[in-house]
Structure 1
Amino acid sequence: MSASPPHPARDTIPLGDIELHDHYLPALPAGNYRIEATHTLRTGTDAGARTVGGPFRAVQRFTVRAPQVAIDATTAVVAEQPPDTSAGRFADVLPHLVLADPLLPWERPLRGAGRATPWLALLVLTDDQLLGGDTSPNRTESTTVGAFLAADPAVLKPALRRESDIGPDDPCQVIRIPASVFPAVVPRLAELPYLAHCRGANTGDRPLLGLQEDGLFSVVVANRFPAAGPPGSPPEARTKNIVHLVSLEGHEPLLGPDPDFQGRASVALLSLCAWSFWAEPDGKAHFRDLAEGLTRTRTPDGSRTATREEMWLRLPSPYQDTDATAPARRQIARRIGDGHVPLPYLTRSGERTFGWYRGPLTPVPPQPVDRVATATGADALLGYDPAWGSFDVSLAIAFETGRALALADAAYVQQLTAFKRATHELADTLYHRRTSTHLPPDGDEGPRTARAAFGTLLDGPLLTALGTPPAHSGDPWSPPAPAPAPSDPSADLDAFLRSDAARAAVTEALEADDGLAARLAPVADWLGQLLLLTPVPFTHLVPDARMLPPESLRFFHTDPNWLDALVGGALGIGAQSSRDTLQDALVAAAVRAEAARAAARHRDRQRDAEPADPDATLGPVCGLLLRSALVSGWPHLAVRAVDAAGAPLPALRMDHLSPNVLLCLFNGVPATVELAEPQEGFRFGVEDDGLIPLRSLLPDAGPRLPLGEQLGPDITFDVLRHLRPNADPAVRVLDLTALVPALATALDTAHGTSIGGLGPADLALQLVKVPEAIRFDGPDGDRFPATGGDRR
C-alpha cells in the first residue's frame, strides 16, 4: 500500500497480481486559475529610490479541465460490480465502480476537505428512495446544466460554480433524493477518503477493450450493502438496487451528521453513471455458479459433470464409435468426433448432396496435407471419399474464404499488388544477371549489376585511359560473337524460377532491408491477422450453433491445413499467368513465415508492449470459445494458460465476438487453463455471517506473513457491527467513522504490533473478496481439459 504513485506503464506487475494505493492525486486540481505578475521600476537600488511609472502588471487566466457535470461512461468505466442488469446473491457485496482514469476521483476539490478526499461517491438506492425519473430504468432525469442549477423552493441544489468550459445548455443527468433519505445513505465528508482508492494491474490476460494497458485504475466503492429479501424468502423475491455515481461538489454543507436542508423536501445530485441489478436471497448468477455451470452437461437437471470429451468443440454425435455400431453410423460418429459438420452441397454439375465441413477450430490435431501449400484453386482442395461417396469441402471453403476476404480489402489488394510487382522486377533482375555475358557467372567475384560494373570502370583505369592518346593496333578488328539465344526462353525462365538458387536469392532480398522487405511488411501484417482468424466470419468457425450451446465452454486446436488454405487464397489473387503462379511460389514460403511472425507479435503491438521474444513465431495454436453470461457480466474476464512446465503461454488473441462470446487463442498447447475474475474488478464485501478474514499489512520480514496473506482462519472481524442506526433492516450503511478505528485496533492485536494507521488501500485490502476462478487441468500436461478437473 502506498500514496499516489508515479504513472509509468506497469509492466513490472506479474499477471494475476495487483497493487493498491491510497489515491492518485493530480499535480493541480481542476478549476479556474489566474496567474498575476507585477514588476516595479525604480531609479536606484536604495530604499528611497523613486518609482518610474507602473507598477506594471500582467494577468493570465486559464482553466484546468476535468469532468464536472458528465463523463463518457462507455470509455471511462472499466467494470461495474455487480454487473448491470445481473441477478444474484449480492446482499453481502459492496458495489463498486472501476474507472479507466486513475486521477478522476481526486481531480476536483471539495470545500473544507483535504486533497485526498474524492468528489465522487457511489450511492446504492432502491426505487422508493428516488423521486422522479419514472420513465428511466435508473430513475435519472435528463436536463441542462442551467436548469439543474436554477433555484427551486422544493429542491436543494448544489452551490456549484460552473467552469468556463461548461455551458448552461450542456446536457446532464440528475437524480432527486428525499431529504429524509439523504443523511441515511450519503457518505460523510470524513468517510469519503476511505471509499476510493487506486489500483495497478497487468492486463495482459484480458481482452483489449480500451483498457489502460498495464496501468492504473481508480475505484469508487459504495458505503451501503444492497437491499435484498430476508433469509428464507422465495427465489423470486428479488430486490432491484440502483447504483449512481454522483458528484458531491457544492453539497459539502450536507455531508455532516446533522445536515440543514433549508426547508427543501429533496436534494438534487448530478449522476455521472448509473446501473441497476437484482439482489436475490439465493445465488443464481454469481461468478461461482456461472463458472461451475460451464462444467455441467445440458441434461434436464444439469447435475452431471461434463466429461473431457464433451468439452471439445464438436457436435454431439447421435451414434457411438464402437465395433457394435453399424459401419455407416460409425463413419458418421467418427466424422463428427473429428469436428466435421454435414452441410448441403451443390456440385458443379447441379447435383444436390451433402459435404463434410470442418472449420479451423478442431477437437483433434489434424494430419498435414501436402498439397495445401501449392494449391492454386479451391477445386484442388476438394476432397472426395469414394468408399462412402462423400465430399470434404473444408479446405476448399478455407481457400475461397481467404480469397473473398482479400478481395474485400482494397488496401490489402493494393499492397499485395505492389509487393508482387517488386518481386517480379527482382526475379527479372536475377534472371538477366544469370544469363548476361557481361557479368561474371555465379560464384565469381565481381560486380553483380550493370550499374556496379560501370562504377568499377569509373573507379579503375577508364578515366586514365580517356586522357591518353589512343594506340593503333595493326590487327584486324572483328565484333565479338553474341551468346547463343536459348531455344525456348520461357522454359529457361521457368527452370530458373524453380531453381534453389532463385529461391535463396529472393529469400536473401526479403531479409535485407532494400525496399522489398518494406513492401512485404503490410502484407505480412494483414496475413498475420488472417492467421488469427480476425476477419473470418463466425459461421466459418462454428458452423452449427449446437457446437457452442448457451452457458458452455469449448476447447479446440487450430488446423494448420485450414490456415494454409486460407492464406493461399489470400495470396493467390492477381495471378494471371503461369509466370505469376511460379513467382508466387518463389516467395510463398518467405511470406508465410513472415506472416506467422507477425501473428505471434500481433497482440503485443495492440497493447503497445515490447515483445518478450522478438523472433517468436507461431507454434501449435490452441484455444477456447466461451459463450456465457460470464462474458457479458465480466467483460474483462481474465483467461490464463500455462504449459506443462508451468510457464505462461502467450495469448495471441482474446476478443469478444459478441456480448456473450469470447474467443481466446494461445501460442502453444496448454496444460492448464484458468478463468478468473479480473484483479481490478474483484468484489468487496463480507462473508455470509458478516465477518471478514484479517490480512497482513506489514512487509514480508522474518516470520511475518507476506503482504495481503490471511493472518489465520480464525482471525476475523465483524463488519456488520459497525452500521449506521436505521429502523429499516434493508438499509445497511457502513459507519466508517466507527469501523475504521475498530478495524485498526483489531489489526494491531492480530499483528502483535501497531500497523501505523489504516488508509484507503488498507481498508480495501481487508474488505476484498478473493477473485473466484475455475481451472481446467490436463492429466498428462499435453491436452486439456481434464475429466473432472481441479476447479476452484
Structure 2
Amino acid sequence: MTTAPQAGASDPPRPATAHRTRFFDHRIPSLHAGRYEIHNGQLLRDTDGADRPLDGTPQPFDVIQPRFAIAPTAVNARYPVPDAVGTYSEVLPHINLDTPELPWARPLGDLGEHDESIPWMALFVFRPGELDEDLEAVGAVTVDTVRKLLAGEHGPGRPPDIDPKSLRPDECDENCVSIHVPAALFDRVKPLPTEMAYLAHVREGGKPDATRAGSSPEPDIDQLNAVVVANRFPDARGGLHVCHLVSLEGHDDALTEPAAEEGVRLVSLTSWTFETRPDDGTGFGDMVQRLATTDGVTPRRDLRLRVPVTEPANVTEPQREALDRVAGGATTLPQRLPTGERTIAFHRGPFTALKPQPLPDPGEGRVRLDSSGEALVYLEKYGVFDTSYAAAFTTGRTLALADADYRKALLEFRKAARFAVRRLASHPRLVGRAVSARQLTAPLAIESFDRMLLDDDGARLGRAVREAPAAMRAGRRRTTTRARRTTGDIGTLLADTSVRSLVREAAGDEFEGVRAWLDRLRLLEIATFDNLVPDTRMLPQESIRFFHVDPEWIRAAVDGALSVGVGHALDADLNSLAVDGGPVPECGVLVRSSLIPGWPTTIFTGLRAEVDVEPLRTADYGTDVRLVLYPRVIDRFEIAEPPRGICFGVGNVGTIELREIDGPRIGYPMGEFPADADFGAYLRDRETGVLNIGGSGTALLDGLDTAHGGVRLTSAQFALQMIQAPQVQSFTRL
C-alpha cells in the first residue's frame, strides 16, 4: 500500500522564459593571428625609359589573439558547469567563448579540403586513470614558460612544433599550461580533422521575438559567441571528469597519423572539472515513459482516476451497480448508521473518472443544502448510501469551523447584510432608487441628531427643545407608521438583482473576505489531499491520472462552509448572496512521480484543439504529487523537460531529435533518430564513448545525411541536430 502525500499544497516553481538562437558554420577572420609586414615601394621611370624601383622600409605588425591561454573573462559559459555534480553521461561537454572568430583565428597545416573551417583548438574530455599526470582527473597540470614548453622541458610528450619566428618577443617568457596525453589515448579520443570542423560553430542569441519565421536578419555581432563541443561522452559509470580546451597548433600531423610513441604535450588553454553520477536509467525520458507505457513501448490504456478493479466473469446486477460506481471514481468505505447498524457506503471526492451528471432539482425553489443529511444519496434497491455529497458538505463546514478569520468575516457579513436588508424591507420605497450602501448601514437617528447640532450653530436643536413642551401639552405628538417586515418580503427583496448587489456592497470588506475564501474552496485550495483522493490506490507511485471535476461536489462544500452560524431563516437567505463566485474547474491532472522533486520546473501544458489552456490552479502536495486544474476539458496534455540552456548530446532514451535544417520551419522537430534508439552504433567504441562523426564504419554524419534526404549537413546544421532538446511526452484524450 502506498502512503498518502502530505495534505498541505504548495505552488510549484515556474520555468524561465526561453530565448531565440541561431547557428552559423564559422566566422573566419579576414586576417589570421600572427606576425605580418607591410611592404611598400615606388616605381620611377627614368628619362631613358627605364624603370627604377624605390623600396620603402617594411612595417611589421601583429594580429594578436590568445595562443597559449584564454583568460577566464573570455569564457562565456561551460557545460557542465565547473564543479557540477549530476548525471551527464548523455551530454557532450562544450565551452562558449566570447570571441566568435577565436577557434578559426589560426590555421593548422595542410589537412585537406576543409582547411579553412578546421579550428586550431579542440575540447578533450578525460576520465580518471587516463592522464598519467592527473590520474584522479582533478585538473592537475604543468605550468611553466612557453620557452620551456617548446624546448620540451615541461615533461614527457612531444611538444608542439611551432616556428619560433612566429612568436612575439614577450610570448616566450609568458607562462602556459600543458598536459601529457599518452599516444594510445590520444589516438583513441582525438577528433579527425573533418570532425573538428563539425565540433565548432558560432551561436547568436536574442529575445524570443527577435526573429520571425521567414526572415533572416544579419547576425548581431554583439550576440555572437564561438562554441567548441567535445566528441566524447562522460563515463556512464560516473566519477570525476576533466575537460581541457587544447591547442592543436604544431600537432596537425598527429591528427592524420598515429601519435609519437612518447605521446603528445598539449597546451591547455583552459580547463574545468565536473562529476557525473552513475546512469541508473532514471532520466527524464525514462520517467515520463513509465507514466505513459507499461514496458517502454506498450501504452497504458486507462489513465482515469479510479480504483483498479478486476471484473468477475459473470457479473450480477448488484455487482454491476458497484462496478459502475467504482468506474466513476468511487470507493467503498465502512459506514455505521444512526440506528447502530454497520454497512458499507460509496464515497468519492470532487474528482470523477467519468463526466459527472447533474443532480435532480430538489424542488420547492430550494437550491442550497442546509445539512449533510440532505446530501445523502440512498440506493434503496440495495440498502446502501452514497455519501459523496454529504462528505463534501461536512468538508466545507469543517474547514470553515477551523478558520477563525473566515468565521468572523462570515458573521460580520451577515450582520451588515441583515441591517441593510431589513432597512430596505422597512422602507419599500427605497427599492429601485439610487440608494448608497452607506445609507443602508448608517445609524440614521444619530446622524439626524448630529445634523440638528450643526445646523445654524445649534439653533435648530434649541428651537426643537423650546417648542417640544408646548406641543406635548397641546397633544400634538409626531408618530410614524413602520412597515411590517416578513420573511417572505425579505426573500422577495433578495430575488431582485439590484437589491442583492446593493446588500453585497453594504456588507463591504466582510463580504469580500467571505467570497475570497469561498473562491479558494471552489479551486480546492483549502481541501486536504485526502478530501481529493480518498483512496491511495487511485494514484499509485509513478502514475498519471486524468479526471473531471464535479461542480455539485464543490457546491455542496460551499453550502457546508456557509452553514456555519446560521441562526434563522434570514441567515440562510443571506447565504445566497455568497454562492455566486469565481470559476470552478472542469477537469484536471494528477501526477505522482519522482519527476516532481527531480525536475521541479517540469512544464505541464494542457491543450484543447491545439490551443493552450491556462490552468486555474497548479499545486504540489508533499514531495512527489502535482495537481493541475483547468477551466475547460482538455483533449491533450504534455509533460516537457524543463529548459536548461543549450547543450548537446542524446536523450536518455537513446535518440536525438531530428530538426528541420532550412525553410520557415527551421529547427522544428521531425522525429527521433535513430529509429532503433541505439545511438551506441555511432560511437567508435562503446567503452570510450567517442563519437564517430565522420570516420570509417557507421558514421553519424552519413546517418544524418540519409535522414535528411541525402543533404550533406554543415557544422551549424549538425549542431542543430545534436542539441539535447527537452523531451516531451504527450497524452491524448480518445
TM-score, scaled to structure 1: 0.52
Distance of 1:587 and 1:571 partners within structure 2 = 10
Counterpart contact for 2:247–2:269, Cα < 8 Å: no
Q: Distance in 2 between matches of 1:197 and 1:276?
A: 32
Q: Does 1:641 align with 2:606?
A: yes
Q: d(CA) in 1 for partners of 2:709 and 2:531? A: 58
Question: Is 1:622–1:668's contact at 8 Å kept on the other side of the alignment?
Answer: yes
Q: Structure 1 pair 350/503, CA: closer, same or farther in 2 (3 Å)?
A: farther
Q: Are 1:124 and 1:243, in contact at CA under 8 Å, matched by a contact in 2?
A: no
Partners of 1:341 and 1:556 lie apart in 2 by: 15
Alignment partner of 1:240 out of 237, 240, 243: 237
Letter in 2 for 1:388: Y
Within a 5 Å distance, the mapping from 1:178-197 to structure 2 comes to: none
**Aligned residue among 198, 208, 230 for 1:223:** 230
Residues of 1 paired with 2:638 and 2:198: CA distance? 37
Unaligned regions of 5+ residues in structure 2, if any? Answer: 1-14, 24-72, 104-121, 140-177, 192-196, 210-224, 252-264, 674-678, 695-700
Residues 431-470 of structure 1 correspond to what in structure 2 (within 5 A)? 431-435=422-426, 440-443=429-432
Letter in 2 for 1:557: H
Equivalence for 1:480: 478
1:317 and 2:309 are equivalent in the alignment: yes
CA contact 2:606–2:613 (8 Å) conserved in 1 = yes
Q: Relative contact order (alpha carbons < 8 A, sep ≥ 6): 1 or 2 greater?
A: 2
Query: In the alignment, which residue of structure 2 is the partner of 1:164?
Result: none
Indicate the SS of the match to 2:559.
helix
8 A Cα contact 1:622 1:666, kept in partner = yes
Partner in structure 1 of residue 529 of structure 2: 538
Equivalent residue letter for 1:561:
E
Q: 1:552 to 1:269 in 2, by over 3 A?
A: same
Question: Shift of the alpha carbon at 1:561?
Answer: 1.6
CA distance in 2 between partners of 1:662 and 1:227 (Å): 33
Q: Which amino acid aligns with 2:237?
A: K
**Residue 499 of structure 1: aligned partner:** 492
Q: Residue type of the partner of 1:708?
A: G
Find 2:667's aligned residue among 694, 708, 713.
708
Partner residue in 2 for 1:395? 389
Contact 1:359 1:543 in 2 (8 A): yes
Shift of 1:570: 3.2
Contact 1:373 1:564 in 2 (8 A): no
Q: Secondary structure at the match of 2:238?
A: strand
Confirm or deny that 1:768 pairs with 2:733.
Answer: no
Q: Give the C-alpha shift of residue 660 in structure 1.
A: 4.2
Instruction: Tell me if 1:382 matches 2:376.
Output: yes
CA distance in 2, matches of 1:333, 1:267: 70
| CA gap 1:330/1:483 in 2 versus in 1, 3 angstroms | same
Query: Any residues of structure 2 matched to 1:142-541 within 5 Å, and which?
Result: 223=230, 225-227=232-234, 239-242=236-239, 276-278=277-279, 290-296=287-293, 305-307=299-301, 310-319=302-311, 325-369=315-359, 374-409=368-403, 413-418=404-409, 420-435=411-426, 440-443=429-432, 478-483=476-481, 486=484, 492=485, 494-501=487-494, 504=497, 507-509=500-502, 516=508, 518-541=509-532
Asked if residue 20 in structure 1 is aligned to residue 25 in structure 2, the reply is no
- Give how far 1:750 is off: 12
Relative to structure 1, is the Cα distance of residues 407 and 385 closer, same or farther in structure 2, using a 3 angstrom cutoff?
same
2-structure distance, mates of 1:294, 1:506: 53
Cα deviation per residue 1:92-145 (whole Å; 9 max; x = unaligned)?
x43699xxxxxxx99x99xx99xxxxxxx99977565799xx9xxx9999xxxx
Q: Is the 1:400–1:566 contact (alpha carbons within 8 Å) kept by the matching residues of 2?
A: yes
Matches of 1:654 and 1:443 in 2, distance apart? 43
Change (3 A) 1:379 1:444: closer
Report whether the alignment pairs 1:558 with 2:561. no
2:164 aligns to what?
none
AA aligned opposite 1:549:
P
Distance in 1, Cα, partners of 2:328 & 2:654 = 50
**Residue identity matched to 1:19:** R
State the SS of the aligned residue for 2:578. Answer: helix
> Taking structure 2 as the reference length, what is the TM-score of the superposition?
0.56
Structure 2: how far apart are the matches of 1:564 and 1:581? 18
Give the deviation of 1:666 after TM superposition. 1.5
Shift, 1:558, TM fit: 0.6
Task: Give, in whole Å, the separation in 1 of the partners of 2:684 and 2:300.
Answer: 49
Q: Output one character per residue of 1:433-484: Cα deviation in whole Å (capped at 9) or x when no partner.
A: 4315xx955346889567889799989xx869969x9999999662134426
Maintained 8 Å contact 2:539/2:545: yes
Distance 1:84 1:510, change over 3 A: farther
1:52 alignment partner in structure 2: none
Q: Which runs of 5+ in 1 are unaligned?
A: 1-13, 23-65, 98-104, 114-120, 142-176, 203-217, 229-238, 487-491, 597-617, 698-703, 715-719, 736-741, 778-784, 787-792
Taking the TM superposition and a 5 Å limit, the aligned residue runs for 1:563-642 are 563-573=554-564, 575=565, 577-578=567-568, 581-582=571-572, 584-590=574-580, 593=581, 595-596=582-583, 618=584, 621-631=586-596, 634-642=599-607
Aligned equivalents of 2:420, 2:661: Cα separation in 1: 72
Any conservation in 1 of the 2:396–2:560 contact (CA below 8 Å)? yes
Aligned residues of 2:413 and 2:511 also touching (Cα < 8 A) = no
CA drift at 1:769: 4.5
Contact 1:195–1:222 (CA under 8 A) maintained in structure 2: no
1:146 aligns with: none
Per the TM alignment, residue 560 of structure 1 is displaced from its structure 2 partner at its CA by: 1.0
In 1: Cα distance, 2:395 partner to 2:227 partner: 47
For residues 139 and 536 of structure 1, what CA distance do their matches in structure 2 show? 53
CA contact (8 A) 1:683 1:771 kept: no
DSSP 3-state at the match of 1:655: strand
Q: C-alpha separation between the residues in 2 aligned to 1:341 and 1:634?
A: 32
Secondary structure of the residue aligned to 1:368 is coil
Contact 2:657–2:672 (Cα < 8 Å) also in 1: no
Is the 8 Å Cα contact of residues 417 and 507 (structure 2) preserved in structure 1?
no
CA, structure 1 residues 452+306, in 2 after alignment: closer, same or farther (shift >3 Å)? same
The 1:139/1:549 distance shift into structure 2, 3 A limit, reads: farther
State the alpha-carbon separation in 2 of the partners of residues 194 and 770 from structure 1.
18
